[in-house]
Structure 1
Amino acid sequence: MGKARFSGCGLYRWWLLRRWDAALPPLLFIGLNPSMADGRRDDPTLRRLVGLARGWGFGSLEVLNLYSRISASPSLLRRVDDPVGAPNDHWLRRRLALQPQAVVWAGWGAGGGLDAGRLAQLAPLLRTRRLHAVGVTASGDPRHPLYVPATAVLQRWSWRDPLALGHPGQT
C-alpha cells in the first residue's frame, strides 16, 4: 500500500508511506528533501529505502524530510525561495507523534548542512526521539542510504549541535 501527501501546488511533499506488512513494526525515515516518488510510483531512492527497511524486518516505511520541496538534486534547493515549505514542521511533528514507538532513521547526508539554521530549528523536535543511521558523513551528519552497501545496518546515531558541525553558511 502506498500513500503520500502533497501541497496543493504539487511542489512540496509532506510525507510518503509504503506498507507491506501491518504485523511488523514501522520505520520512519527523515531525509533531506523529497525525491520524485509519489503515492503509487517509486524512484531509485525510495526503492533503496524500502529494500533496506524490508531487509531489517520492518513492515512499513514512512518518509519525512528536513525540506519538503520536491527536487531531483539538493543543489537545486538553494535556488528556490522556500525549500522548507511552511507546513513542513507541522507534518514532521504530527507524523512523528502518530507513531511514538517507531524506529526513526536519519539519513539526510552531508546536504543537511544546506542551512545550519534549519538543523538548529529541528533539533528540539528530533532530540525527543532515539535516532538511528546507517553511518555518518565526515561532517557527522547521518549518511544518505544511496551511499551505503546493501548490507548496511541501523545503528544508534547521537545528535550533535548542528551549529558546531561546521556547515557552510553558519553564523
Structure 2
Amino acid sequence: MSGPDRGAVLSADGTYRYSLTRSWPVDESTTTDPLRSVAWVMLNPSIADAQVDDPTIRRVVGFTRRLGYRRAVVVNLYAYRATKPRMLDEVVATGGDPVGPDNDAMLDVVLSEAGLVVAAWGAHEGTQDRVVRLRGLAAAHGHRLHCLGRTKAGHPRHPLYLPLLAPLEPLP
C-alpha cells in the first residue's frame, strides 16, 4: 500500500498553518463514506507540514484509520505555529494574533466537508472564546463535537498519549 497523500495550507510567511491533511486509498478498513473526513480540532499547530509528520499527526492518522475514515484534516483553535502552547500567550502579550487572519474561514470549510469532528485541544486556559466560535461553526454544519475522553476539568484530551483504542465520546 502506498503512503498517505499529504497537504497543508500555510500563510505565505509560514507563521500560520490553517490546515494539514493526510489521506490514503480506500481499502477494506474504510467503513465510512470514503469522501468524508475526520476534522481534528487541536489547540495550535507545531512543526508538521505537507511533508513532515510529528508524533501528534502520526497518532491522529492512527485514530482516523481506526475510526474507519480515509482522510484526516487537522485544524486548530489558533493557527499560530508554536512548539509550546505557552508561546500563544507570548504572542498575545506582545500584541500579536495567535488565531490567524484566515483561520475561521478554514475552520468553516473543513467542518462543512467533515463526516466527524473530534475536539482534541487538551487543557489550555483562555480558549473559551475560541471554543464558543468553534461550537457555532460546527452547529452551523450539523455537527456535534466528539472527543477521545476528557480531562478532570472537562477539556477534550489531546491524542498524543492516549491508547489507540481510546473510545470516541460526545463532548458536552
Question: TM-score, length-normalised on structure 1?
Answer: 0.84
Q: Report the number of matched residues.
A: 155
Aligned pairs for 1:54-133 (under 5 A) are 54-80=65-91, 81-97=96-112, 99-100=113-114, 102-111=115-124, 113-128=125-140, 129-133=143-147
Q: Work out the CA distance in 1 between the residues paired with 2:44 and 2:121.
A: 8
Paired letter, 1:117: D
Q: Provide the residue aligned with 1:135 in structure 2.
A: 149
Q: Provide the residue aligned with 1:162 in structure 2.
A: none
Shift of 1:22: 4.3
**1:148 pairs with 156, 159, 162, which one?**
162
Q: 1:142 to 1:7 in 2, by over 3 A?
A: same
Q: Work out the CA distance in 2 between the residues paired with 1:56 and 1:20.
A: 14
**Contact preservation (8 Å) 2:7, 2:21:** yes
Identity %: 40
Question: TM-score, length-normalised on structure 2?
Answer: 0.83
Q: Provide the residue aligned with 1:49 in structure 2.
A: 60
Q: Provide the residue aligned with 2:22 in structure 1.
A: 18
Runs of 4+ that moved beyond 4 A: none
Q: Work out the CA distance in 2 between the residues paired with 1:52 and 1:116.
A: 26
CA RMSD of aligned residues (A): 1.6
